[in-house]
Structure 1
Amino acid sequence: MDSRDGAQERGTTWEVDDVKLLARQHRVRVPEQPAPPRPIGPKLLDEGSIHFALDTALRIGEVQMATGAGAADVTATILAVTDAFGLPQCEVNVVGTSITVTCHRGSEASPVTAVRVVRSRSMDYTRLSETEDLVTKITRGRTDLHTAAAEINRISNAPHPYPRWVATLALGAMAASITVLMGGGPLTATLAFVVSSLIDRIGRVLNKRALPLFFQQVVGGLIATLFAVLALSSDLPFESPSLVAAAAITVLLSGLHTVSAVHDAVTGYNVTAAGRTMEVIMMTTGLVTGVVIGLQLAITLGFPRAPLPALPGPSAISLPVEIIAGAAAAGFFALASYARLRALLLAAIAGGVGTTVYSVLRLAHADKIAATAVAAVLLGFCGGVLSRRLRVTPLVVAVSGITPLLPGLLAFRGLYEAGVEPVGQFSTLMQAFAVGLALAAGVVFGEYLAQPVRTQLGRLERKLAGPRMAGPLRPSRRRLQ
């Protein structure tokens, strides 16, 4: 047997070695053999199972996005869930209210794509928390695909944990707490409770009739302003009727996804950020329109002009009352958003801490915007570090904690100056806008600062980039883009 026959019997590997030896003898360069391609594609074999897994992951992302989670958090959650379901090569695209997931199956099979559109928003923090628990079970291998699909179906279709009238009373109590925080007395706080509860009930009726949210905000601002004017013209000893309108405006501002819009902009989801920012602008514009119409209507009907509401200055004497009122406002907002007991307690603590930091900085003669930003950064930091360990989504703590700091009184004063004064002034209104932006940006930056600290504590987020307000702690096995 000659050497050629022996090489054929030994196989292809020896043939390649012989070629390399011959090439070295004749000084000819032979290109290296490429490494065999890494197999990609799903571990689920049939296409029906792939569709089922993608649909389950999309429904999880839909719940998160509907409750105010950022696009980056939704993307990271879906990637982690699909990876746990055996779909390692997936791409997620979140644009506006649309979520698209594509599963790549290599070069020999066409990809599988699923799309879901978030058509409605629901501030149900219990639903968000249960979804977070389900994501944790999925990523840690504690549940299979069919069980997860049944669970997310139950979460999505489950009723709110509290009756709707409880949420209405919670919003009224939140308005009363905001009134006390701004220096109002018991009678003014009672009227703010009634007005905000009435606005919520009317808003629910209008929502059932499919009236756009812009016009609902117009109606809310109009009702709040007219009640403040009527209280001024009555014989009852109201300390400052303008606080009623300011408290109602704060309640109406609290439901806007300002934090989510800033979060999307910071994490690079500019299209989604632009859409959410436009939504916030439209809702705020509706509120502005309602307040201005109410003020002008009161002047036209001959009602006495409401005095320009005074901005309360810092006071060490009233500091304990302000802290309690801030904690109550944050807790009642969480209750109105259907949060459970643990989240309620954390939200109340966050509201008290934020109010304390803001008031102390104001006593130290800090600027209003700077004091607001520092308080928001601290809330985002503490919420990011502690809330995960207490099994509460940081988004719940952060959004509830900044509620007492919302510029409701500043906004009403700015609207009064722009719509009632003979020469319209917009400086106060712009200051209110700056305070709102400082709140949202401060929370996102605080969560960003909390990330390395939380990584050292838990060692579960080594590959995550950017602030995380919701979603799984454990990242996908491949780097998130």
Structure 2
Amino acid sequence: MSGEPERPVPPGEDRMLSRMRDWRASRHDAISEDLSDEEEALPDARAIDLVLRVGELLLASGEGTETVSEAMLSLSVAFNLPRSEVSVTFTTITLSTHPGGDQPPITGERVVRRRSLDYFRVSELHSLVQQSALGLLELEDAAARLEQIRRARPPYPTWVVVVGFGLIASSASLMVGGGLIVATVAFLAAVLGDRTSVFLARRGVAEFYQMAAAAAVAAAIGVGLLWVSNELALGLQAGAIITGNIMALLPGRPLVASLQDGISGTYVSASARLLETFFILGAIVSGVGAVAYVALRLGVSIDLDSLPSAGTSMELPVLVGAAGIAVAFAVSLVVPLRILPWVALMGVMIWTIYASMRSLLEVPPVVGTVVGAIAVGMVGHWLARWAQRPVLPYLIPSIAPLLPGSLLYRGLIEFTQGTAVSGLLSLVEAVMVGLALGAGVNLGGELVRAFQRGGLAGAGMRSRPAAHRTRGGYGQ
């Protein structure tokens, strides 16, 4: 926990480590299939507790369900828990191990009641799991390392994370043509909205209303600046404040995780995460929609033809905004510092691919989004594999430049102005773009995984459980 980055594993050594993981997993499976009546020693209760605690902390810190399962199975193999089965849902983690003979199975369970997105902690936990799986950590050392990770301070102070959240909104507003003044106000609006949600959270208010309040506060500031701009003929693109704050609040992480869980076959978690995504969207729509309706009733003019949008521009301010959104998003998720340059490059890459597809080939927004997301998914998975790090810290911030903030804003304004059909179409398009982002990122990862060997638990291209449930099991 000294903060020093670990050296990347060379490709040749990486293949050797993958073979070691596969050997350990196959040896564990062979032992598990031996159901003789011989008495076996009871599993170490400390090992069961360690596996459950690691899984709980990974899930609470934002890791996907499939990866949590792989990590727990790796630790079960490493610390000799025989015939282990793992079940991970949205909030519950279960581990069952059978000693064999006449001994009954031993089952433990933990419930995740509080979530705090922290990709720095996820990265450190992955390192712990890999070292344990390769036999580099004994049980006592692994338990001490887990406690150290749990108590460690994140790499950024709290105020830096808050500033990062504000910079998401200001970068997004700059990207859609808001200018420096609008970007500054968007930053202040995002921070004030975030502090409002924190204030409500400390008083036990449900998260739905926290998100709605944060969206309403930011939208009210944007509408206020729009009114001042109209009255004084300043010509400010004040709507960019609302667009930027919508993008800061959009649920990119649960969207990607829900599709990832569904593709990997964990449908209960996928359904729960997708429902979480739509509840967050509902909260944003409620907060912004209420403010837009009140503004319209008070006579604040919002011209549909001048709503902020980056379009397909690849000018320098837009590219700077794309990189800024990605990096600010990464900071707000406590992504390790060494990953930030890669996140900035992938943020620019996904926007460049999207804008090029839209302008040169004149494809619909959804198609451009899918192509850009697939490219980012492939690059992100390759980088994570090369650096021996989890993949989500690379992927989640990198898709931020394409989050459909402007489409959601347009749809809400069209609804409040009485053009319900156009508003509904804009909202549907926004949902389609969001789903295209999640599906494209996951498809890019699948293309990389299809030709990879190894994994945390030897879960390479031949041993992924969800791939062998139907047609994938034939000819084995």
What TM-score do the two structures reach when normalised by structure 1?
A: 0.83
Matches within 5 A, 1:53-452: 53-235=47-229, 237=234, 239-254=236-251, 256-300=253-297, 302-308=298-304, 309-315=307-313, 318-364=314-360, 365-421=362-418, 423=420, 425-452=423-450
Distance 1:106 1:430, change over 3 A: same
Change (3 A) 1:340 1:256: closer
The separation in 2 between residues aligned to 1:359 and 1:63, in whole angstroms, is 38
Q: How many residues align?
A: 427
- Contact 1:41–1:88 (Cα < 8 Å) also in 2: no
Corresponding letter in the other structure for 2:317 = V
Deviations 1:73-128 (A, max 9, x none): 11111111111100131111122310111001224000100001111111111101
Which letter maps to 1:323?
L
Q: Using the TM superposition, give the Cα deviation of residue 311 of structure 1 relative to its aligned residue in structure 2, in angstroms.
A: 3.6
Which stretches in structure 1 are left out of the alignment for 5+ residues? 1-36, 469-481
Q: Is the 8 A contact 1:180 1:325 kept in 2?
A: yes
**3-state SS of paired residue (1:257):** helix
- Return the letter of the residue paired with 2:123: S
Classify the secondary structure of the residue corresponding to 1:88. Answer: coil
Output the CA distance in 2 between the equivalents of 1:311 and 1:403: 15
Percent identity reads 31
Verify the 8 A CA contact 1:354 1:379 in the aligned structure 2.
Answer: yes
C-alpha displacement at 1:42, in angstroms?
A: 12
Matched, 1:461 2:460: yes
**Conserved in 2, the CA contact under 8 Å of 1:254 and 1:406?**
no
1:404 partner amino acid: P
Alpha-carbon distance, 1:182 to partner: 1.3
Q: Secondary structure at the match of 1:92?
A: strand
Separation (CA, whole Å) in 2 of partners of 1:289 and 1:123: 24
The answer as to whether partners of 1:58 and 1:99 remain within 8 angstroms in 2 is yes
Residue aligned with 1:387, SS: helix
> CA contact under 8 A between 1:42 and 1:88: conserved in structure 2?
no
Query: Partners of 1:61 and 1:180 in 2: how far apart?
Result: 39
Q: 1:471 aligns to what?
A: none
Deviates more, 1:370-379 or 1:446-455: 446-455
CA contact (8 A) 1:233 1:303 kept: no
Q: Residues 106, 44 of structure 1: CA spacing in aligned structure 2 closer, same or farther, 3 A cutoff?
A: closer
For structure 2, list consecutive stretches of 5 or more residues without a partner in the other structure: 1-32, 468-476
Contact 2:37–2:101 (CA under 8 A) maintained in structure 1: no
CA–CA separation in structure 2 for the residues paired with 1:136 and 1:288:
42
Residues 418-444 of structure 1: per-residue CA shift (max 9 Å, x gap): 233254530000000000000001111
Note if contact 2:193-2:217 (Cα within 8 Å) is conserved in structure 1: yes
For the 8 Å contact 1:380–1:446, the answer to whether it is kept is: yes
Distance 2:65 2:453 in 1: 21
Query: Offset at 1:331?
Result: 0.9
- Change over 3 Å in CA distance of 1:261–1:52 after alignment to 2: same
User: Taking structure 1 as reference, are residues 63 and 181 closer, same or farther at Cα in structure 2, changes over 3 Å only?
Assistant: same
Residue identity in the other structure for 2:257: S
SS in 2 for 1:155: helix
After superposition, the Cα gap between the structure-2 partners of 1:306 and 1:264, relative to the gap in structure 1 and judged at 3 Å, is same
1:244-294 per-position Cα deviation (integer Å, ceiling 9, x unaligned): 001100000146411010111111111111111111111111111111111
| Cα deviations by residue, 1:169-216 (Å, 9 ceiling, x for unpaired) | 111112111112112211111111111111122222222222211001
Q: 2:109, 2:447 → 1: CA distance?
A: 34
Q: Normalising by the residue count of structure 2, what TM-score does the alignment of the two structures yield?
A: 0.84
Partner secondary structure for residue 354 of structure 1: helix
Q: What does the per-residue CA deviation read over 1:417-476, in whole Å, with 9 as the maximum and x for residues that have no partner?
A: 1233254530000000000000001111100001134449999835343899xxxxxxxx
In structure 2, give the amino acid aligned to 1:286.
Answer: A
RMSD: 2.5
Specify the code of the residue in structure 2 equivalent to 1:284.
Answer: L
- Structure whose alpha-carbon radius of gyration is higher: 1
Q: For residue 130 of structure 1, report the CA deviation from its aligned partner.
A: 0.4
- Separation (CA, whole Å) in 1 of partners of 2:459 and 2:132: 15
Kept after mapping to 2: 8 A contact 1:385/1:454 = no
Contact 1:358 1:371 survives alignment (8 Å): yes
Give the 3-state SS of the residue equivalent to 2:143 in structure 1.
helix
Q: Distance in 2 between the 1:42 and 1:175 partners?
A: 63
Letter in 1 for 2:431: F
SS of match in other structure, 2:109: strand
Cα distance in 1 for partners of 2:48, 2:462 equals 23
Report if the CA contact (8 A) 1:455-1:461 is conserved.
yes
Deviations 1:15-52 (A, max 9, x none): xxxxxxxxxxxxxxxxxxxxxx82579998345x2x22
Q: Equivalent residue of 2:450, what SS? A: helix
- 1:246–1:408 contact (8 Å) kept in structure 2: yes
Distance 1:414 1:233, change over 3 A: same
**For the Cα contact (< 8 Å) 1:327–1:352, is it kept in 2?**
yes
Cα distance in 1 for residues equivalent to 2:251 and 2:185:
19
2: CA distance, partners of 1:405 / 1:466: 32
Deviates more, 1:224-233 or 1:441-450: 224-233
CA distance in 2, matches of 1:89, 1:40: 13
The answer as to whether partners of 2:37 and 2:102 remain within 8 angstroms in 1 is no
